[in-house]
Chains A and B, each alone.
Chain A
Amino acid sequence: MSISPRRHTVRAAALITGLGLLLSGCSGGGGGDSTLTAPGADVLEGLDEAVQVEFWHSMDATNGQVLDGLIEDFNARNEGRVEVTGSFQGDYDTALANHRAAIQQGETAELIMIFDLGTQFMIDSGRTVPAQSFIDADGYDTGSVEPALLNYFTVDGDLRSFPFNNSTPLMYINRDAFEEAGLDPDSPPADLAQIREAAEELTVRDDDGTVVQYGFGAAVYGWFIEQFMARAGAPYCDNSNGRSGRASEVLFDDPKVVELVEWWQGMIDDELALQIGRNTDEAQAAFNSGRVAMTLESTGALGGFIEQSDFEVGAGYYPLVSEGDPGGSIIGGASLWINGEGHSEQEVRASWEFVQFLLTPESQSAWHAGTGYLSVNTEGYDGPEAQERAEEFPQFSVAAAQLADSEINENTAGCMMGVMAEARATAEEGWETALTSDTPAEEAMAAAAERLNTPIEEYNASVEE
């Protein structure tokens, strides 16, 4: 299973309080003892029984097991005080839909994991205690938290939620194929032109001219456009990526994206790249089986690549559109939100203590090594599990290095917008239209960007009225 990284953005602090009050007024459920500010540690003193914290998340399989291990560890240390119960809610989209239903019924979980693209929605629905208020109340030091993650989840100067399971995309190469083609696997291509050059060497045909190994192939995945734009120093949506005011339009018809899509078309037309479609599992399978020698994927895919392929896997920085682009990198994945609306101070405080435990270097070392997600706490990379993993597979350190090299600015913070999930899907559609029809890239991307105007307008109207 791949880690599906997503992203999204935030803002409008003043709105939050007002909107929260407005929504709670008509929500019907919840009632009574709501907490939208951070309570101190004293609320957990003199308890008769452990405070129950229900934690909704989207981690299954291996990742779910690692998370369950952390939960057990926390419960053992807090016996009689706090008891966390993990509850798998399906994939990110389903979890958000479940949360939305829970809001309607007034029965939200204490702690929820919401993917990056849902960030603005979570802010606008105004039911959570902003992460910043815990940090301020406790004087919690965020100095060791990965700056790129803080950059993404900070809106209007306040951290809104706690980054937890996050990743960033990389370029993966088949080192064996590189060597056979006489290329240097230690310096993977750094931009589109270089990928094409390498692909010309890496593409292998049989006697009839049918391609048996393509140089390149990756999924038509909207997250990649976001990443390419960040690396090109271009904002994805207006109003400084939705961070200086509500975004009113997307900008993925930018010349850089058009250049990318045209390049992609050319690669497919010249049979240097495999046409894969939107399915990231397909792209992983194509890379694992040696059908494509270079691909783009999340850091979270590295473990699976190493395990399932029978060649040596190399990882490099995500490519630039063209040489001389500023670089930079944005993140994907999900963050943790503590619900205040309808929850007691004890529950809110207990959730925060659990989150603090998850963010310790010890927990993050185990989390990073067990799942392949970034270590949210950069000190986590020095932990024993993380060290062991880095020794065995040095490729694991590429993602952290890529983030460390990235400039922190509004372009690398990524776009914060209420309809971000739809925007990503629409960008994919425009991209795919260009790849599968005669429509020129520029026209396809412009049409896709325009289709989003109505949803953006409607979303903004519904939260601002």
Chain B
Amino acid sequence: MTSTVTATPSPATAPPRRPRTRETALAWAFLAPSIAVFALFLAYPLGRTVYLSMHGNDIIGRPNRFVGLSHFAEMASPEFGRVLLTTLLFTLGTVVPGVLGALAVVLLLEGVIRGQRFLRGAFALPFAFSVASASVIFVVFYSSGNSVLNGVLYRLGLSQVPWLTSQEMALWSVCITTVWMNLGYGVLVLAAGIGSIPREVNEAARIDGATGVRLARDVTVPLLGPQLFFLVVISTINALQGFGQIHILTRGGPSGSTTTLVYSIFEEAFAYSTSDFGRASAQALVLLLVVLVCTAVQFGVIERKVHYA
């Protein structure tokens, strides 16, 4: 992983015929600090995770026995399958509405002339909330006894929703919170993208008679391709790593229905004063693999269709 990040030595400035060894040495010298940092904060933790994943712990949390791949073998269970399924649903349930929602907001705001900047700012505002404060707000919205949302539903004469206390509903409630939290960032990115579309393109399209939905679908959205792609990749990774909102809203429940992979890792390692770093590390490696595969697939499949203007 580290090698893809390190830069190649800059070839441009050096005269062509000088011995290359000096240049190479110089390049390595310049790279040394960043290599050291990557080794310390990336390679070492990764190596340590692999080591821990193959060991059991004593009660203090120190690895004390080699268990081979048994922590990985244990994952072939219905319980872990459920964790993966929940992770998948949570990812789909946050990425798809998150990106489409931000796109919808930005496109609709295109039609607003007066106050557009203000409205964009307002929609981008959730970005300024920390995960913890956003989640606490939603705790009040979803509260089982005194839910703000249920209060509104009650006044409208609608039936009450068990936001966080039903296995069917809890995951979607957490998704709603996450989508709200991510919406601001999406709006910011897409608004910047839409601002960079050359005016001539829009004018040309309008002269050709394209307006409204047609203009958005055939001109604006394709030109937003790079930003949309970026959002999809980033929000997928965010979803796979989402923790704070789950911890604050549901603690993985009810009955494990919102336990995603990250939450499961947390439970193994820290939740019950048990310090099972071995199993947690094994799951962390699975998470790493999932993120890698998702990102690789996104770059391999979707990016081909992205038009970079």
Contact = CB atoms under 8 A, between A and B. Distances in A.
Contacts of B159: 210
A277 B254 contact: yes
A280 B12 CA distance: 65
A287 to B, nearest CB: 8
Contacts of B56: 458, 462
A291 B271 contact: no
A429 B146 contact: no
Contacts of A291: 145-146
B253 A278 contact: yes
Contacts of A462: 56-59, 64
A286 B145 contact: yes
Given A104-B61, A462-B59, A121 B273 contact: yes
Interface string B140-166: 000111100000001001011010111
B145 A210 contact: no
Contacts of A118: 273
A436 B275 contact: no
Question: Secondary structure of the A side of the interface?
Answer: helix
A455 B274 contact: yes
A274 interface: yes
B224 to A, nearest CB: 41
A9 B57 CA distance: 22
Interface in B206-238: none
B273 A292 contact: no
A422 B274 contact: yes
A429 B253 contact: yes
Interface in A256-311: 274-279, 282-283, 285-286, 289, 291-292
A419 B59 CA distance: 10
B274 A285 contact: no
Given A100-B60, A286-B146, A436-B255, A421 B160 contact: no
Nearest to B166: A436
B251 interface: yes
Interface residues of B, number: 34
B298 interface: no
B273 A277 contact: no
A435 B167 CA distance: 10
B212 to A, nearest CB: 43
Nearest to A217: B145
Contacts of B274: 419, 421-422, 455, 459
B146 A419 contact: no
Given A278-B253, A292-B145, A432-B253, A418 B59 contact: yes
Contacts of B167: 436-437
B272 interface: yes
Given A100-B275, A104-B60, A277 B144 contact: yes
B255 A274 contact: no
A23 B59 CA distance: 11
Interface string B263-276: 00000001111110
Contacts of B271: 93, 425
Interface residues of A, number: 45
Nearest to B275: A100
B144 A100 contact: no
A104 B277 CA distance: 14
Nearest to B267: A425
B62 interface: yes
Contacts of A100: 60-61, 275
Contact of B144 (A104, A125, A276): A276
Contacts of B101: none
B93 interface: no
A23 B62 CA distance: 11
A279 B64 CA distance: 36
B97 interface: no
B126 interface: no
B256 interface: yes
A275 B145 CA distance: 8
Interface of A: 23, 93, 96-97, 100-101, 103-104, 117-118, 121, 124-125, 208, 210, 217, 274-279, 282-283, 285-286, 289, 291-292, 418-419, 421-422, 425, 429, 432-433, 435-437, 455, 458-459, 462-463
11 contacts: A93-B272, A100-B61, A104-B62, A117-B273, A118-B273, A276-B165, A277-B164, A278-B253, A286-B145, A436-B257, A455-B274
Of all A-B residue pairs in the complex, the 3 with the closest CB atoms, nearest first, are A286-B145, A422-B272, A433-B255
